[in-house]
């Protein structure tokens, strides 16, 4: 009997009752962040556990349900349903993930040249498996170097109602020589819809007026992609 109940007592044990060497925050300062497990790092972000479950056990439970490589693409509405995660904890997770992306973005953007469709696909691979549609605009200089990458909207194109002004305003601020538009299809089918085709024509015409041509509109999905430039659709 005592043996079978031991794991439960360990799970329920409060962090402050653990030896100093086993507490996530103390381990971070003594060993460095790279030597902590994913659950221990997440535990530091969450700060506290819930009744009957310390913060490390809670973090392990969260990561079992949403592994680290999927966590950044998990909608906040899904995380809200996880027992033990309130809005404060979810906000900390979301903010930490966003800071991580922003930390590495400037260096990556400065060295990216988008001269082919495969280059574009590499630059937008992070939205291929998103559960919502993400509309991204890639702003290029005259050498086809990526100088800015913006998420312009989230949601289907016919619901976002993105205007040409929203697309080209950053182009004037940067400034840039041309743009590439990209969005994902959560359905897994990259075939462009009628809305996609109409949207492409509108942006292409606006680009000609602005003097900032639309080089391509790429639709990406789990099963593949569609390039308007490669297929000369809507031109």
What pLDDT is attached to residue 192?
95
Task: Kindly state the average pLDDT of the residues 9-23.
Answer: 70
Q: How far is CA 121 from CA 50, 131, 165, 201, in A?
A: 42, 18, 25, 21
Q: How far is residue 17's CA from residue 193's CA, in Å, rounded to a whole number?
A: 58
Over the stretch 40-94, which tens digit does the pLDDT of each residue have? 999 999 999 888 888 999 999 999 999 888 888 888 888 888 889 999 999 999 8
* Cβ-contact 52, 12 below 8 angstroms: yes
What pLDDT is attached to residue 224?
96
Q: Is the bond preceding residue 116 a cis peptide, omega within 30 degrees?
A: no
Has residue 33 got a pLDDT over 80? yes
Q: Specify burial of residue 128 (Cβ count, 10 A radius: 0-12, 13-18, 19+).
A: buried
Q: Specify burial of residue 111 (Cβ count, 10 A radius: 0-12, 13-18, 19+).
A: exposed
Has residue 157 got a pLDDT over 80? no
* Cβ-contact 189, 223 below 8 angstroms: yes
Dihedral, CA of residue 164, residue 170, residue 171 and residue 173, to nearest 10: 130
For the chain, give the mean pLDDT.
Answer: 86
Q: How far is residue 108's CA from residue 158's CA, in Å, rounded to a whole number?
A: 31
Extents of the domains making up the chain = 2-105, 112-231
Within 47-154, where are the H helices? 55-65, 68-71, 76-79, 87-110, 117-123
Reading the block at residue 70, the tokens are 């999927």
Has residue 21 got a pLDDT over 80? no
What pLDDT is attached to residue 7?
41
Q: How far is residue 73's CA from residue 71's CA, in Å, rounded to a whole number?
A: 5
Fold classification of 112-231 (topology level): Cytidine Deaminase; domain 2 (3.40.140)
CA 220 to chain centre: 15
Over the stretch 178-234, which tens digit does the pLDDT of each residue have? 999 999 999 999 999 999 999 999 999 999 999 999 999 999 999 999 999 999 854
């Amino acid at each position: 009997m005592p043996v079978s109940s031991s794991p439960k007592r360990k799970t329920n044990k409060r962090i402050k009752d653990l030896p100093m060497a086993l507490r996530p925050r103390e381990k971070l300062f003594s060993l460095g962040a790279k030597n902590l497990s994913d659950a221990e790092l997440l535990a530091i972000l969450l700060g506290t556990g819930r009744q009957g479950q310390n913060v490390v056990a809670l973090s392990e439970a969260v990561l079992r349900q949403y592994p680290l490589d999927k966590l950044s693409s998990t909608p906040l509405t899904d995380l809200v349903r996880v027992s033990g995660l309130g809005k404060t904890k979810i906000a900390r997770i979301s903010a930490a993930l966003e800071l991580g992306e922003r930390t590495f973005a400037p260096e990556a953007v400065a060295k990216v040249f988008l001269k082919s469709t495969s280059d574009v696909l590499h630059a937008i691979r992070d939205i291929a498996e998103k559960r919502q549609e993400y509309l991204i605009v890639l702003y290029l200089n005259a050498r086809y170097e990526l100088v800015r990458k913006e998420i312009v909207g989230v949601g289907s194109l016919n619901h976002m109602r993105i205007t040409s002004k929203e697309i080209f305003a950053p182009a004037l601020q940067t400034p840039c020589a041309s743009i590439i538009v990209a969005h994902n299809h959560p359905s897994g089918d990259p075939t462009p819809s009628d809305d996609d085709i109409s949207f492409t024509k509108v942006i292409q015409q606006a680009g000609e007026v602005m003097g900032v041509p639309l080089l391509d509109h790429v639709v990406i999905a789990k099963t593949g992609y569609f390039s308007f430039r490669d297929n000369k659709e809507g031109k």
